[in-house]
Structure 1
Amino acid sequence: MSSTIKFKLSFMMFLEFFIWGAWFVTLGTFLSQTLNATGLEIANVFSTQSWGAIIAPFIIGMIADRYFNAERILSILHLVGAVLMYQMYQATDIAVFYPYVLAYMILYMPTLSLVNSISFRQLTNPEKQFSGIRIWGTIGWIVAGLSISYLFKWDSGEGLLRNTFLMGAIGSFVLGVFSLALPKTPPVKVEDAQKASITEVLGLDAIKLLKDRNFLIFFVSSILICIPLAFYYQNANLFLSEIGLENPTGKMTIGQVSEVLFLLALPVFFTRFGFKKTILIGMLAWGVRYLLFAYGNASEASFMLLLGIALHGICYDFFFVSGQIYTDSKAGTKYKNAAQGLITLATYGVGQLIGFWVAGYVAEKYADLKTSDISAFWTQVWIIPAGIAIVVFVLFMVFFKDEKVNNEQTLTN
């Protein structure tokens, strides 16, 4: 792979996740403090990510993979996304904001698959080269968070978070234009693409894997653990802002740094402790993280908040990455893509959709407490996902039978 192509792919990944990190982390805070949205209204906005994840396979599998170059689709989606993001920047109330964010997420979520497809088609040794490309996406997310807190200081001023959408719009426009300079990535041959049914595109062919008791338990657990995950995405930045932690968006990038470090440590844990124990550690980390949030504060116990943020690496890598490895090993050659699609649909689609609604309901339930005792409000909000995570941990520990996962190539590359 030439250095030019490597630079283009790396910059593409950087912008892809810079755009997402530029506005999504602070979205809950913006909706609450600037648009005065209720808990359920915030939940509906965050749910657009799940609707985008559910619709994305149709856009990619049924349209992009058949008829158009991937880099051109990526360009169009981001250019239109820039316009929608600018409309979100100008929105003055939740009723105006919602249609734009829904349309944006339906267009953005497919781009996550597109950037991967473009990368894999250019790499000569994807198993070894892709991680070096993908890490620039994490760097992009970190740069966005640090810019918000420390460069522009948008965390510290009322109404300034509106500018995050302008930053996202600019980033989306740049990537839309830059995508035209990416290596050409034509669709697969029409005769091959037509062989894929809708059920195959959506990963539904892999449903037969649910006949395996262990995989069924893992599948259900994946959906359930995404309920507490949604609490983090929806509430973490707002929580840290409201209790007075300085530069919350910048500090939340500790989670992405942790994600990179624990991804490097994952093969050691996986090899030494096996799949079941590794994934149980990930589940337990969710419960511990939310307990730290529930009882930490922005003064003498701020270390609890920072530790909770830092646990993101264990929470995400030990469950989701381990789960992808497990799914790959169980699926076999025939169902590898379908099985990964099914798990993605279940987690980012169904699981988080339920989670966002539950988080919104909980926020509404304790809304009266928020006006009288903000600390008590957030304690209640975080205790619930902590409890859910612990219940999932126990169920998985009891019902999942330990088995050896033979996927050494995935772990070592």
Structure 2
Amino acid sequence: MNSTTRFKLSFMMFLEFFIWGGWFVTLGTFLDKNLSASGPEIGSVFSTQSWGAIIAPFIIGLIADRYFNAEKILGILHIAGAILMYQMYRATDISVFYPYVFVYMVLYMPTLALVNSVSFNQMGDPEKEFSNIRIWGTIGWILAGVLISYFFHWDSQEATANGALKNTFLMSAVASLSLGIFSFLLPKTPPKNKSTEKIKVSEILGLDALKLLKDKNFLIFFISSILICIPLAFYYQNANLFLSKIGMDNPTGKMTIGQVSEVLFLLAIPVFFKKFGFKKTILVGMLAWTVRYLLFAFGNAGELSFMLLLGIALHGICYDFFFVSGQIYTNSKAGDKFKSSAQGLITLATYGVGMLIGFIVAGQITEMYKVNGIEDWKMIWSIPAGIAFVVFLLFSLLFNDKTKTESN
């Protein structure tokens, strides 16, 4: 790969995740402070991510893989996204905001697969080259949080009270428009399958891999993957709102510690996976969710702020040790025939079904433990901690895969 192509792909990844991190992290706080949204309404807005994940395979499978170059679709989706993001910036009521965010997420989620497709198409050895490109996405997400907290100060107590967080949508709209235009300069990535054969919906959604569920251990892993997404949704939906409401300074910037942690633990996975195997690795990930939420439940923005920062730093273990390890396990169990279908099925189960359920539950729980507009954060965080621990116990007792694949 030449230096020009490397730069283009790196910049593409940087903007792709700068856009997402530029508004999604502070979304819960924005909805609460700017639009006076209730817990269920906030949950409903966050669930648009899940609907986007469910619909995304159809856009990729029916359009990108058959008719148009990936980089051109990427450009069109991001230009349209910029327009929708600007409308979200202008919205003053949740009923006006929701349709825009719903359509936006349906258009944005497919771009996550498209940037990967454009990247892989230029690589001779993706296993070695991709991580060096993908890391720029994490840097983009981190920079967005740093700008919000330490440069613009949009998430400070005073600025939040004055509605400054709506500017995150304007910033992301500019970034989205930039990536939309830049996408047309990316290396050409023609459709993979121009054949006129009918595409099966089961192939698009990865349903062909349902045969893997006949394996008892894979079925337990599959169900656990859906269930663990319920506590995961609490973090995405409530973490920034929680840190902001209890008075932590620069909450968005400090949440980027989670992304730094994610990069570090991603490097540790191969070693941990090889030494301890799949089951122990994924159990550590599950237990980390419980520990994280207990730290949130009993920490505060004063003398116990270290508990909150430690909870944020656990993001690398929480995410990498469960989701990345799960992808490795799925790949090893699927075999060549079902590799793509199996990964699609797990993505649909987690980011689609699991997160959809999770955001609904998180919204209801948050509203349930709110009195006179004040949240009982100890209870709100203790419940997902309990859910994660139950999943941990069930998986540790029921999963018993002793095959060689767990150490591959």
TM, length-normalised to structure 2: 0.97
In structure 2, what is the Cα distance between the partners aligned to 1:316 and 1:401?
22
Q: Which residue type is aligned with residue 317 of structure 1?
A: D
Instruction: Note if contact 1:89-1:162 (Cα within 8 Å) is conserved in structure 2.
Output: yes
Q: For 1:405 and 1:328, how far apart are their aligned partners in 2?
A: 13
- Runs of 5+ consecutive residues of structure 1 not aligned to the other structure: none
The structure 1 residue matched to 2:180, chosen from 176, 184, 208, is 176
Give, as a single letter, the amino acid of the residue that structure 2 aligns with 1:38: S
The equivalent of 2:13 in structure 1 is 13
Distance in 1, Cα, partners of 2:206 & 2:181: 32
Amino acid corresponding to residue 74 of structure 2 in structure 1: L
Take 1:255 and 1:223, find their aligned partners in 2: how far apart are those partners? 22
Whole-Å separation in 2 of the counterparts to 1:369 and 1:257: 37
Determine helix, strand or coil for the equivalent of 2:328. helix
Q: Is the 8 A contact 1:71 1:185 kept in 2?
A: yes
Aligned-residue sequence identity (percent) comes to 73
SS at match of 2:190: coil
Q: Which amino acid aligns with 2:377?
A: W
Cα distance in 2 for residues equivalent to 1:407 and 1:290: 28
C-alpha change, 1:405 and 1:370, in structure 2 (3 Å) is: farther
CA distance in 1, matches of 2:199, 2:264: 38
Q: AA paired with 2:394?
A: L
Shift of 1:368: 1.4
Aligned to 1:280: 283
- Deviation of residue 222 (structure 1)? 0.1
**Residue 329 of structure 2 is aligned to residue 330 of structure 1:** no
Quick one: distance in 1 between partners of 2:321 and 2:404? Answer: 14
Q: Would you say the 8 A contact 1:326–1:405 is kept in 2?
A: no
CA separation in 2, counterparts of 1:341 and 1:391? 26
The answer (yes or no) to whether the contact 1:84–1:104 under 8 Å persists in 2 is: yes
Amino acid in structure 1 at the alignment position of 2:262? E
**1:363 CA displacement:** 1.1
Contact 1:274 1:405 in 2 (8 A): no
Q: Indicate whether 1:261 and 2:269 are aligned.
A: no
- Residue in 2 aligned with 1:243? 246
1:407 positional shift: 7.6
Distance across 2 between alignment mates of 1:46 and 1:152:
24
Q: Residues of 1 paired with 2:216 and 2:298: CA distance?
A: 38
What CA distance in whole angstroms lies between the structure 1 residues aligned with 2:183 and 2:2? Answer: 18
Measured in 1, the distance between the counterparts of 2:116 and 2:193 equals: 19
Structure 1 residue 43: deviation in Å? 0.4
> Equivalent residue for 2:102?
102
What is the CA-CA distance between 1:340 and the residue it aligns to?
Answer: 0.1
* Equivalent-residue separation in structure 1 for 2:115 and 2:93 (angstroms): 33
Asked if 2 retains the 8 angstrom alpha-carbon contact of 1:328 and 1:336, the reply is yes
Aligned with 1:68: secondary structure? coil
Q: Given the alignment of the two structures, is residue 381 of structure 1 paired with residue 380 of structure 2, yes or no?
A: yes
Match of 2:170 in 1: 166
Task: Tell whether the 8 Å contact from 1:22 to 1:168 is kept in structure 2 after alignment.
Answer: yes
The match for 2:189 is 185
Amino acid at match of 1:244: G
Runs of 4+ residues over 2 Å off in structure 1 = 193-196, 402-408
Question: Do the aligned partners of 2:52 and 2:109 also contact (CA within 8 Å) in 1?
Answer: yes
* Alpha-carbon shift at residue 198 of structure 1 (Å): 1.4
Shift in Å, 1:403: 2.2
* SS across alignment from 1:66: coil
Contact 2:65–2:193, Cα closer than 8 Å, also in 1: no
Q: Deviations over 1:136-166 (max 9, x none)?
A: 0000000000000001000111211000000
Q: RMSD across aligned C-alpha pairs, in angstroms?
A: 1.1
Measured in 2, the distance between the counterparts of 1:391 and 1:320 equals 18
CA contact (8 A) 2:40 2:360 kept: yes
Query: What pairs with 1:178-257 in structure 2 (closer than 5 Å)?
Result: 178-191=182-195, 194=197, 196-257=199-260
